Amino acid sequence: MEWEAAGSTILEVVPPTLDSGLEGLYSRISRVRRLVSDGDFDAVNIPEIHDEENRNDQGIRTRQYSPRMQPRELGRRIQDELGLPVIINHVVSFKPIGALMDWIRETVAGYGIRNIVLVGAPHERKPWPGPPVPEANAAIRTEFGKESLKIGNICIPGREGSPIPESVRMEQKALSGADFFTTQIIYDPTEIIELRHQMVREASPARYCPILVSLCPVRRHRNLAFLRYLGVKIPDALEQELHALGEPECLERSLEILRSIQSDLIEAQGDPADVAPLGWNIAPVGQIPTASIRDLMARLSGSVRS
């Protein structure tokens, strides 16, 4: 199925747990069907969930990890039943390059999925058997042309603890075959704005790769601890503001904050000749009500489709 990243809006959907069985699968597909029925989304983005280590000393995981369905299994069902293109994420660091290539061939030929986000190692504190992301990009691009497979990579604006600037990382990934990027969940637009300005100043080839910015509503203040666990940066001002609010007010305020973030990013986009247009990855982590996601899309719709 054809899908273009530039200016698109995609819905991130976490695969159901294996323990939930067919009931969990049908429930997940039903939720996706309700959310995409208005035509707001161009594709569905499915992350690959692993039992991760805490990435922040203030992060807390409130539920025990439970293994989940493979993204490509859920992706095939969504493409077949809902007729929407699917993007699946895959961590490349866990297995050697040969196993990765076998997985890619299976995914394209056996599952009909042609949009794949390659994700790097969870951390750099130990060596991993799999290749770095640029190496994986290059190997896959050698076998699959741009017309047959779109490759996405992850962008982490303001990446902490790395001696290599994010703009340089993105240039390496773009030169090795990346077509687009998705960001980590963000609550501050300034780092993305500065990153894009930097890429324009440096005439980086990565500036022509669309970036899909990940936006996540917050249902209650304590959900911020889990987002920190995943490595999401939470501004102190946002923490303090949401801490003072009850659940309905917290969710409402978070929707308005996301609208404001998107507005700031669109205003700072710059000349389309200099940089690819932004896209949007709506990533409702946790139990965000369907109505609230629809509410968010209504608030974003004036700028999403502009």
Q: Would you list the DSSP string of 141-208?
A: HHHS-TTT-EEEEEE-TT-TT-SS-HHHHHHHHHHTT--EEEEEE-S-SHHHHHHHHHHHHTT-GGGG
Q: ∠ CA(127), CA(233), CA(196), 5° rounding? A: 85
Mean pLDDT of 138-153: 95
Which range among 81-85, 225-229, 277-281 shows the weakest confidence by mean pLDDT? 225-229
Residue 57 confidence (pLDDT):
53
Residue 30 confidence (pLDDT):
97
Sign of the Cα torsion 65, 68, 71, 75 reads: negative
Summarised one tens digit per residue, pLDDT across range 173-207 is 999 999 999 999 999 999 999 999 999 999 999 99
- Listed as own residue / partner, the contacts of 287-292 with beta carbons closer than 8 Å and 24 or more positions apart are 287/219, 288/217, 288/219, 288/251, 289/219, 290/31, 290/34, 290/35, 292/217, 292/219, 292/251, 292/255
Other residues' Cβ atoms within 10 Å of the Cβ of residue 304 = 20
Measured CA to CA, the distance from residue 15 to residue 261 in angstroms comes to 27
> Binning pLDDT at 50, 70 and 90, where does residue 64 land?
confident
Cut 0.75: pTM above it: yes
Residue 33 confidence (pLDDT):
98
Q: For the chain, give the mean pLDDT.
A: 93
- Indicate if the pLDDT at residue 305 is higher than 70: no
Instruction: Extract the tokens encoding 145.
Output: 């042309």
Instruction: Extract the tokens encoding 278.
Output: 């932004």
Whole-number percent of the chain with pLDDT over 70: 94
Mean pLDDT of 266-273: 89
Q: Are 87 and 93 in contact (CB under 8 A)?
A: no
Q: Residues 6 or more apart from 30 whose CB is under 8 A from it?
A: none
Mean pLDDT of 69-92: 98
Q: How many CA atoms lie within 13 A of 140 on its CB side?
A: 38
The more confident residue out of 141 and 303 is 141
Residue 303 confidence (pLDDT):
57
- Indicate if the pLDDT at residue 271 is higher than 80: yes
Measured CA to CA, the distance from residue 238 to residue 257 in angstroms comes to 9
CATH ID of 9-304, from 1.20.120.1150, 3.20.20.220, 3.20.20.70, 3.30.70.1520:
3.20.20.220
Phi (first) and psi of residue 50, to 5 degrees: -125, 165
Other residues' Cβ atoms within 10 Å of the Cβ of residue 256 = 11
Most confident range, picked from 119-123, 147-151, 226-230, 302-306: 147-151
The more confident residue out of 61 and 182 is 182
Whole-number percent of the chain with pLDDT over 90: 82
Q: Are 58 and 228 in contact (CB under 8 A)?
A: yes
* Secondary-structure percent of the chain, ordered helix, strand, coil, rounded to 5: 45, 15, 40
Residue 161 confidence (pLDDT):
75
Measured CA to CA, the distance from residue 45 to residue 190 in angstroms comes to 25
Q: Are 51 and 59 in contact (CB under 8 A)?
A: no
Residue 295 confidence (pLDDT):
96
DSSP-derived letter for residue 50 is -
> Binning pLDDT at 50, 70 and 90, where does residue 306 land?
very low
